[in-house]
Structure formats: C-alpha cells, structure tokens
Structure 1
Amino acid sequence: MLLRYFYDENLAHASYVVGCQATGEAVVIDPMRNMTAYEELAAKENLNIVGALETHIHADFVSGARELANRFGAVLYLSDEGDADWKYENLEYINHQLLKDGDQFKIGNLVFEVMHTPGHTPESISFLLTDRGGSADKAMGIFTGDFVFVGDVGRPDLLEKAAGMQGTSEAGAKELFKSLERFKKLPDYLQVWPAHGAGSACGKALGAVPSTTVGYEKLFNWALQYDDALAFQKELLDGQPEPPSYFAVMKAVNKTGLELVKELSEPAEIDSIEELESLIAEGHQVLDLRPASSFSKGYIPGSINIPFNKSFANWAGWIVDYKKPLYLLLDPESMGPVLEVLHSIGIDDIAGYTDVSKALNEAAKLDSYENVTPEQARKLIEAKEGYVLDVRSQTEYDEGHINGADHIMVGTLKNRLDEVDPNKTVIVQCQAGARSAIAASLLKASGFENLVNLTGGYEKWKEELSV
C-alpha cells in the first residue's frame, strides 16, 4: 500500500493519495483543486487515479473531486447521508457512488468502510481503511475529514454563521457529541488522518501535527474529555472564530459543481495606468498584493492591499466580491501561485492584471497612509482627535482591548462602513498590525482619508503602555 500526504499551507488543508501497488490503482481523499501534485505522484509511482473520496461538502475550499472525474475518469465516492439540503447535485454525467453508514468498497486490495460522523455537517462521513494485501483483517486508520482533528474537532456553527441556517449550531453540536461517543469506541491503535491542520477556520484549536491516533486523542483532545452532552455543547460553541464569508459560497460550489480549472482563461494584462485608474473609478475591485509596509508608503488610489502570504486566501475570501471581476497589481512572476490560491477558493473571474512596479512608476499620483506608534496613538486619543477601531475577532476583543475602542472585525468592515466615524482620525488596530493594514487600505479605498495604522497592534500597545 502507498499513502501520501499533501498539505496546502494557504488553506491549512490536507489531502491524501492512497494506492494499491499490486493493482496500480489509487484514490485521492478530500482532493484540492490543483491536480499537479497528484498527477506527478501517479506518474512517478505508475498508478492510475481511479477514485476521489469526499468526507463532506467542503466550505473552505473548492474541492478537486469533479476535476479528477473529468481528467482521469475517477469515480466520485460521496456521502448520501443528511437530508435533501445536503445532497450533491449535478452528478448525472459523472461516474459516482453514493455512500451511507456501513457501506464498503474496494480499490485493489484496499477496503474502505464508511462511518457516518455528523456534527460538523449533517452529511459528514469518515473512511476506515484496511489493507488486505497482507494478513491484516482490521482497519489501520481512519480519514476523518473535518470530524476529528489533532487536538480538536470540527465546528458545527459554520452553517449558521456563514450560510445563515438558523438553529443548526446547537443541532450540529448534539450530533457531534454522539459521533464522538462512537469514535471513542474505536481501537486506540487506529491512525487518524484529518483534512486540516493549525490555521484552519474549521475548528478553534487545531494542532500542527499531520496525524494522530484514536488513543492519543482520547487522552488529550479536549472534546473527548466530556461525558455530559450539554457541557460539551457549551464549550464547543463558545469562542469559535468568525467564519470567512466566502464559506457560504464554497458550500454551494462544492454541492453543485464549478467550472473546471483547465477551462479558465488567463487574465489579460492591463495596457496602461490610465486604463487601471479608469477601472478603479468605475468601481472595479483592484487588489495590490505587496507587503503592507511597501503599500502604505505609496499605492494606486482606490486599490486594496491584501499581501500575498499564508493568510491571503482567508482575507481574499472575506473581502473580494465574488459577483464582480477582479483585477490584480502584482509581480507577474508570482501570477501562477496567486491564481492557484484564488482558484482554490473559487475566485475565478480574474479579469486583468498589471505589473505593480510599472503601475507605480507611471502613476501621476500615489496615495499613502501613516503608521503610528502606541505613544503617538495615545496622544491622538487624549487630545480627542482620534479614536481606536479594533478589527480583530470578537474573541480577541473580549479577552482584552484598548479602552474606548470600537470593534468591527476586518472581514465584515466593507459591509459596516457606516459605523466608522469620518470626523476623527481613525486609529486602525489589530493584534500585531497585519489585519489593521488590510483594514486601513479598505477604508482608504472607500473614501476615508483621515486614518492611521497602529504599528505592532494591541501587543505593542500592551508592551509599551501597559493597559
């Protein structure tokens, strides 16, 4: 048997290729949209990708399952659990097999058994894997998807917070408790292969270790220490971070299907700075992907700054309007990786780009904003010339904040601009300065001229001014 782990740091997403070397067949579990790594492995190991297994309808990235079906003729193994709202659609022309609790299927000498594990979502399933190529007659591990992580479990509140499905948080928490009781009965030696690691918004305390065991999680995973369902539900739902708004889009995309990657057109180069400025004036969204430190010193007025780093997918998903074409200001050499990340969260309407260095050199006018120290910010507040806008999560804000600070989480800011006071200097603040820089650029693009960014954020404020 062959087992390979693939990890997308931009999404904190793990996928797996499992192959039977005796028959040359392989499947991908919870595949990412970019097929390159799977294609390279299949060619190297002389394997045919014959299947794609999905643990649930993902909300945080575009699944590559349908792409695998189109490119390799892979069979899609999909959950048939949950009610009508949680059934996959548009499968008429795709070779697929719908699965329920207890179902089994074989890939060569490998046996996969389905375990219905609702809670994170109603249709969530896990796959127990047994390698019958030797003498083994018991499962060696379980692919848990977003059910059980290293040190955490999948959150049940995404449907309510991101998709507006009222009442699903508590119902999901109850189901998750039952699923975990069943998980506890599995053998301690079973390996656990989850679909996410630290940094994912699908839980609140995910570990950074790639895999674990049932026994280890029973000992140390906080969620498996509860015998009382109500106490578990309260702890589970308290303190969950705000899910990115694009999660609702991804849920619909993965349920119904999306345009295939190979059919997407490459963005066109914008010919002149005049054309770029005209696009901004017409209300088009333009992202500048440089580091915040560079952006703040000089940028094309009206552009929004989301630096291209490990957090890019998350904040692009929060801020980009999926219903409008997107234009990019970037180093053209980074185009490939940037498109890969944007496509991974379903941002496909990328209409154009320009070399950011060229645009800055040709622009008749550049804008900027000031970064201030905690002491400078304090003086603005004491003189009643400025006020603090805290753009961190609700949990961070509740744990401690600058006295008198207003709170609007950065991901929701574009829909709450009417709550920002334009008559005073807005001191934009987050935990360390990264999110507040994004918020500052968004405010500037929305017409707020009187603002500064707090360097070092709340951490620096506490360090220097001892709140």
Structure 2
Amino acid sequence: MLLRYFYDERLAHASYLVGCQATGEAIVVDPMRNIQPYLQVADQEGLRIVGALETHIHADFVTGSRELAAKLDSTLYLSDEGDQDWKYQNLESVNHKLLKDRDTFKIGNLLFEVMHTPGHTPESISFLLTDKGGSADKPMGMFTGDFVFVGDVGRPDLLEKAAGMKGTSEDGAKQMFRSLKKFRNLPDYLQVWPAHGAGSACGKALGAIPSTTVGYEKQFNWALQIEDEQIFIQTLLEGQPEPPKYFAVMKSVNKIGPKLLQENPELSRINSNQELSELIQSGRQVLDTRDADSFADGHLPGTINIPFNKSFTNWAGWLIDYHKPLYILISSEDVLDELMISLHSVGIDYIVGYGLIGQFLEGNSSLESYVNVTPTEVYEQIKNKEVYLVDVRNRSEWNDGHIDGAQHIMLGTLPDRRNEILTDKPIIVQCGSGVRSAIGASILQANGMKNVYNLLGGYTRWVRDIKE
C-alpha cells in the first residue's frame, strides 16, 4: 500500500493519495481542485487513479473530484447520508457511487468502510482503511475529513452562519456529541488522517501536526474530555471564528458540482496605463498582490491590496466579489500560475486580466500611499478622539480586549460595512499585528477614504507600549 499526503498551506487543507501497488490502482481522498500533484505522483509510482473520495460537501475549497473524473473517467465516492438539503446534485454525467453508514468498497486490495459521522455537516462520513493485501483483518487508520482533527473537532455552526440555515448549530453540536461516542469505541492504535490543519476556519483550535491516533485524541482532544452533552454543546459553539462569507458559495458549488477549470475565461494581459486606468474608473475589481509595505509606499488609486502570502486565499475569498470580473497586478510573471491556482481553489474563476505592476508605477504622478504609525506616535490623538479608530480583528479577539473608542468591523465584512464609518477625521485601521489592518487600509482608500493610517503592531503592540 502507498499513502501520500498533500497539504495546501494557504487553505490548511490536507488530501491523500492511497494506492494499491499490487493492482496499480489508487484513489484520492478530499482532492484539491488542482489535480496536477496527484497525477504527477501517480505517474511516478506507476499507479492509475480510479476514484475520488469526499468526506462531505466542503465549504472552504472547491473540490477536484470532478476534474479527476473528467480527465481520468474516475469514480466519485460520495455521501448519501443527511436529508435532502445535503445530497449531491448533477451526477448524471459522472461515474459515482453513493455511500451510507457501514457500506464497504475495495480499491485493489484496499478495503474502505464508511462510518457516518455527522456534526460538522449532516452528510459527513469517515473512511476506515484496511490493507487486505497482507494479513491485516482490521483497519489501520481512518480519513476523518472535518469530523476529528488533531486536538479539535469540526465546527457545527457553518450551516447557520455561512449557509443561512437557521437553528442548525445546536442540532449539529448534538450530532457531533453522538458521533464522538462512536469515535471513542474505535481502537486506540487507529491512525487519524484529517482534512485540515492549523489555520483552517473549520474548527477553532486545530493542531499543526498532520496526523494523530484515536488513542491520543481520547487522551488530549478537549472535545473528548466532556461527558455532559449540554456542556459539550455550549463549549463547542462558543468562540468559533467568523466563517468566511465565501463558505456559502463553496457549499453550493460543491453540492451542485463545480465547472471544470478549462471552462474559465481566457486570461489577457493589460499592457497600458490608459487601459488599466479605464478599468479602474469603470469600477472593475483590480487586486494588487504586492507586499503591504510596497503597496503603502505607492499604489494606483482604486486598487485593493491582498499580499500573496500564506493568508492570501482566505482573504481573497472574503473580499473579492465573485460576480464581478477580476484583474490582478503582480510583481513577476513567475507567480502567476501559483496565484491563479490559489484563486481557483476557492472558486474565484472570473479572472479576466493581469498586469505587471512595475510598468504602471514608474513615473506615475497619480499614485496614492498611506502611512504606518506606531501606538506611541498616535496615542494622544486616539486618547483625545482626534482620530477615528477601526478595529478589524475577529469578534473573539475584540471580546478579549480592545482600545477604548474603537469601532469594531471585522476585516472580511469591511467592504459591506464601510458606509458605517461616518467621519471627517483621519482614520486609523488596527488589527492584532498590523497585517490585516493594512488590507483594511487599502479597502478604505479604494473606496474614497483617503486620510487613512495603519497601526503598526496592532493591538499587541498597543498593549506592550501603552501603559494605561
């Protein structure tokens, strides 16, 4: 048997290629949309990918199952659990097998047994894997999807907060409590292979280790230490981070079936300042992907800045309008392919043009900038209410402590709530460290609020430097 681990750091998403070397067959568990890494490994190992397994209808990325099916005529193995609202659709054109609790199927000599594990979502299933090619008659591990993570469990509130299904959070928490009882009955030696690691919004305290065991989680996972159902429900639901608003889009896309990447619009290059200026003036989305310091020093009016770093995909999903054409500005063509993969991974497909930012900055007298300031430099102005302070952190961070007089508007909601900022004072944008607030400063400037500053070090530096 061969087991390979793939990890997308920008989405904190884990997927797996599992192969039977005796028969040369393989499947991919919870595949990402960019299927090239799987094809490459399968080719190197002499394997043929015959299927894709999904643990549930994902909300945080576009799955690659249908890409595999289109290219390789592989079979989709999908959950048939949950009520009618959580059934996969438009399966007529693809080979597929719908699965329920305790169903089994084989890929070569590998036996997969389905375990219905609702809680994160009603249709969620896990896959127990037994290698029947040797003498094993018991499973060696399980693919848990968003059911059990290292040190955490899947959040049950996404259907309510992201998909708008009222009253489902508590029902999901109750289902999770019952599913964990089933998990406790599994043998301690069983390996656990989850679909996410630290940084994912699908839980609130995910560990950064790629795998674990049932026994270890029984000992140290907080969710498996609580025996009282009501206490468990309360603890599970409190403190969950705001789900990115693109999660609702992903749920729908993966349920209905994403379009193939080959159907996306052709990307054209922007070659002149006049062309770019006309696009911006017409209200098109133009995204500058440089680092925050470079953007702060000088940028084109009307552009927003999301630096192409580890958190890029998350904030792109939050802040880009999926229904409007998107133009991207990059420092080098070397990053274009990787950047496109990141945007496509969360379903941002309406990308129609790109440009090399350097050619639009040189000699351009219309550039804007914003200033980075430290807490000590602006302490008196903030204290005396001479400036307007906007805190763009998460709700839980705000509740743990905030600067007196600040207005809380979480960064992901800033484009929709910017009209709540009614002031003629200078605006200081603040987060925990100065990273998210830099993105916020770009959004406000792009929407006509020009007198904007970014608080370096954010609330962390404020607490350290300001002794009140």
- Aligned residue in 1 for 2:403: 402
Within-5 A mapping of 1:223-238: 223-238=223-238
- Aligned residue in 1 for 2:392: 391
- Aligned residue in 2 for 1:18: 18
Output the CA distance in 1 between the equivalents of 2:262 and 2:10.
Answer: 21
- Aligned residue in 1 for 2:455: 454
Q: CA deviation at 1:433?
A: 0.3
The answer to whether the 8 A contact 2:329-2:356 is kept is yes
SS at match of 1:296: helix
Q: CA deviation at 1:175?
A: 0.4
Output the CA distance in 2 between the equivalents of 1:384 and 1:83.
Answer: 53
Q: CA deviation at 1:382?
A: 3.3
Within-5 A mapping of 1:183-332: 183-331=183-331, 332=333
The answer to whether the 8 A contact 2:385-2:405 is kept is no
Q: Which letter does structure 1 place at the counterpart of 2:178?
A: K
The answer to whether the 8 A contact 1:273-1:363 is kept is no
The answer to whether the 8 A contact 2:62-2:253 is kept is yes
- Indicate yes or no: 2:85 matched with 1:97: no
* Further displaced range: 129-138 or 260-269: 260-269
SS at match of 2:162: helix
The answer to whether the 8 A contact 1:330-1:355 is kept is yes
Q: Which letter does structure 1 place at the counterpart of 2:423?
A: P
Moved over 3 A (4+): none
The answer to whether the 8 A contact 1:79-1:124 is kept is yes
Output the CA distance in 2 between the equivalents of 1:178 and 1:377.
Answer: 52
RMSD across aligned positions (CA):
0.9
Within-5 A mapping of 1:123-134: 123-134=123-134
The C-alpha deviation readout for 1:281-316, integer Å capped at 9, x for no partner, is: 111111000011110010000000000001000000
Q: CA deviation at 1:364?
A: 3.7
Within-5 A mapping of 1:73-92: 73-92=73-92
Tell me how many residue pairs correspond in the alignment.
467
The C-alpha deviation readout for 1:257-289, integer Å capped at 9, x for no partner, is: 122123334410012111111111111111000
SS at match of 1:280: helix
SS at match of 2:336: helix
* Further displaced range: 331-340 or 149-158: 331-340
Within-5 A mapping of 1:397-436: 397-436=398-437
- Aligned residue in 2 for 1:358: 359
The answer to whether the 8 A contact 1:380-1:387 is kept is no
- Aligned residue in 2 for 1:4: 4
The answer to whether the 8 A contact 1:162-1:245 is kept is yes
The answer to whether the 8 A contact 1:286-1:304 is kept is yes
Output the CA distance in 1 between the equivalents of 2:435 and 2:93.
Answer: 45
- Aligned residue in 2 for 1:441: 442
The C-alpha deviation readout for 1:414-439, integer Å capped at 9, x for no partner, is: 11112113311111100000000000
The answer to whether the 8 A contact 1:6-1:16 is kept is yes
The answer to whether the 8 A contact 1:157-1:237 is kept is yes
So what's the TM-score if we normalise by structure 1?
A: 0.99
Q: Which letter does structure 1 place at the counterpart of 2:464?
A: E
Within-5 A mapping of 1:156-167: 156-167=156-167
Output the CA distance in 1 between the equivalents of 2:365 and 2:156.
Answer: 51
Output the CA distance in 1 between the equivalents of 2:98 and 2:363.
Answer: 56
SS at match of 1:70: helix
The answer to whether the 8 A contact 1:273-1:362 is kept is no
Q: CA deviation at 1:208?
A: 0.4
Output the CA distance in 1 between the equivalents of 2:428 and 2:34.
Answer: 40
- Aligned residue in 1 for 2:148: 148
Output the CA distance in 1 between the equivalents of 2:336 and 2:265.
Answer: 13
The answer to whether the 8 A contact 2:388-2:423 is kept is no
The answer to whether the 8 A contact 1:17-1:29 is kept is yes
Output the CA distance in 2 between the equivalents of 1:106 and 1:416.
Answer: 51
Output the CA distance in 2 between the equivalents of 1:466 and 1:196.
Answer: 39
Output the CA distance in 1 between the equivalents of 2:388 and 2:403.
Answer: 10
| Unaligned segments of structure 1, at least 5 residues | none
Output the CA distance in 1 between the equivalents of 2:252 and 2:324.
Answer: 18
The answer to whether the 8 A contact 2:26-2:49 is kept is yes
The answer to whether the 8 A contact 1:427-1:453 is kept is yes
Output the CA distance in 1 between the equivalents of 2:383 and 2:56.
Answer: 52
Q: Which letter does structure 2 place at the counterpart of 1:70?
A: A
Output the CA distance in 2 between the equivalents of 1:385 and 1:423.
Answer: 10
The answer to whether the 8 A contact 2:111-2:131 is kept is yes
* Further displaced range: 186-195 or 399-408: 399-408
* Further displaced range: 262-271 or 293-302: 262-271
- Indicate yes or no: 2:36 matched with 1:36: yes
Q: CA deviation at 1:362?
A: 5.2
| Unaligned segments of structure 2, at least 5 residues | none
SS at match of 1:416: helix
Output the CA distance in 2 between the equivalents of 1:363 and 1:169.
Answer: 52
Q: CA deviation at 1:147?
A: 0.2
Q: Which letter does structure 2 place at the counterpart of 1:306?
A: I
- Indicate yes or no: 2:148 matched with 1:177: no
Q: CA deviation at 1:230?
A: 0.5
Q: Which letter does structure 2 place at the counterpart of 1:386?
A: V
Q: Which letter does structure 2 place at the counterpart of 1:55?
A: T
So what's the TM-score if we normalise by structure 2?
A: 0.99
Q: CA deviation at 1:333?
A: 1.8
Output the CA distance in 2 between the equivalents of 1:184 and 1:112.
Answer: 20
Output the CA distance in 2 between the equivalents of 1:416 and 1:148.
Answer: 35
Q: Which letter does structure 2 place at the counterpart of 1:352?
A: G
Q: CA deviation at 1:359?
A: 1.0
